[in-house]
């Protein structure tokens, strides 16, 4: 079955880089996503990567994909207090459903 | 960009009553919508997949008679929590699928349901 794992917590100092990691199991996923959830809110799509790509950069965000190891990461450069939130990676299953990771709570301190 | 509007954002109801949550795609047609439930500090759990004009497909362990889903048009899906109990209190989020090539799963802002 599908299983998407993430570390639960990450704490960084403002201005540093944050790296959030994710491992997934469904090698047939064509797209992989990163979502951000602020308290009491829905999910905001941050970025996505197509499975035939190794890297994608979008302003402060860099996504790295290691398809062989089924490992996905999200790097946030120059992390700000407004980046404090829960970050979910997600893959599309072979039944065309979004499967979410367990979520990583990012805390940014001054 | 694609926008999904979800209402209400918060609702408090008494045990035994029913609550309807609406999810609308505002600027695109969504043939498929998804309903998720999220417990505090946990990930999103897919409850059901809603297809316009047909019956919803429920995930294992989700009671279809308790969580009624209707997808009567290409822009509206509703989730009705029937005979609500305190254990149904949760955060419910809908999602509509657009163009995957553009990262096209758009989420509503969620509904916080509290059953007292």
Indicate the range of A90-94, A102-106, B14-18, B70-74 predicted with least confidence.
A90-94
3-state secondary structure of B24: strand
Q: With an 8 Å Cβ cutoff, are B107 and A101 in contact?
A: no
Separation of alpha carbons A63 and A75, rounded Å:
6
pLDDT in tens, A68-104: 999 999 999 999 999 999 999 998 877 778 889 999 9
pLDDT for the residue A2: 62
- A7, A46, A98: best to mutate for the B interface, most B CBs within 10 A: A98
Q: B102, B74, B105: which is closest to A93 by C-alpha?
A: B105
| Nearest by CB: A45 against B41, B103, B112 | B103
pLDDT at B74: 87
d(CA A99, CA A10): 22
Chain centre distance of CA A84:
14
Closest residue by Cα to residue B3 from A42, A48, A52: A42
Residue A11, CA distances (Å) to A41, A87, A92, A106 in order: 21, 13, 28, 6
pLDDT of residue B61: 94
Which of A54-63, A91-100, B91-100 is the most confident on average? A54-63
- Between the CA of residue A73 and those of A101, A102, B6, B59, what are the distances in Å? 12, 14, 30, 28
Q: Which of B6-15, B66-75, B96-105 has the lowest mean pLDDT?
A: B96-105
* Beta-carbon separation of A42 and B109 below 8 A: yes
* pLDDT (0 to 100) of residue A99: 87
Q: In the structure encoding, which two tokens stand for residue B35, read together? A: 């309903």
Using CA atoms, how far residue B106 sits from A2, A45, A83, B27, B29, in Å, is: 21, 8, 20, 11, 12
Give me the mean pLDDT over the A33-61 stretch. 91
């Amino acid at each position: 079955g599908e299983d998407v794992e993430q570390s639960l917590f990450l704490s960084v100092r403002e201005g540093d880089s944050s790296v959030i990691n994710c491992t997934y199991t469904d090698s047939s996923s064509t797209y992989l996503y990163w979502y951000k959830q602020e308290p009491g809110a829905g999910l905001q799509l941050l970025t996505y990567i197509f499975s035939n790509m190794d890297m994608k950069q979008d302003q402060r965000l860099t996504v790295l994909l290691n398809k062989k190891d089924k490992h996905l990461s999200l790097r946030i450069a120059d992390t700000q207090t407004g980046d404090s939130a829960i970050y979910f990676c997600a893959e599309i299953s072979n039944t065309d459903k979004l499967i979410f990771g367990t979520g990583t709570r990012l805390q940014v301190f001054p | 960009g694609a926008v999904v509007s979800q209402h209400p954002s918060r609702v408090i109801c008494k045990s035994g009553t029913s609550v309807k949550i609406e999810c609308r795609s505002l600027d695109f047609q969504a043939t498929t919508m998804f309903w998720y439930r999220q417990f505090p500090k946990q990930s999103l759990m897919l409850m059901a997949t809603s297809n316009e004009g047909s019956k919803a497909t429920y995930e294992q362990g989700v009671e279809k008679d308790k969580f009624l889903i209707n997808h009567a048009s290409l822009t509206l899906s509703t989730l009705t929590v029937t005979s609500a109990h305190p254990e149904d209190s949760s955060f419910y989020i809908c999602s509509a699928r657009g163009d995957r090539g553009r990262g096209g799963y758009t989420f509503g802002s969620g509904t916080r349901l509290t059953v007292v």
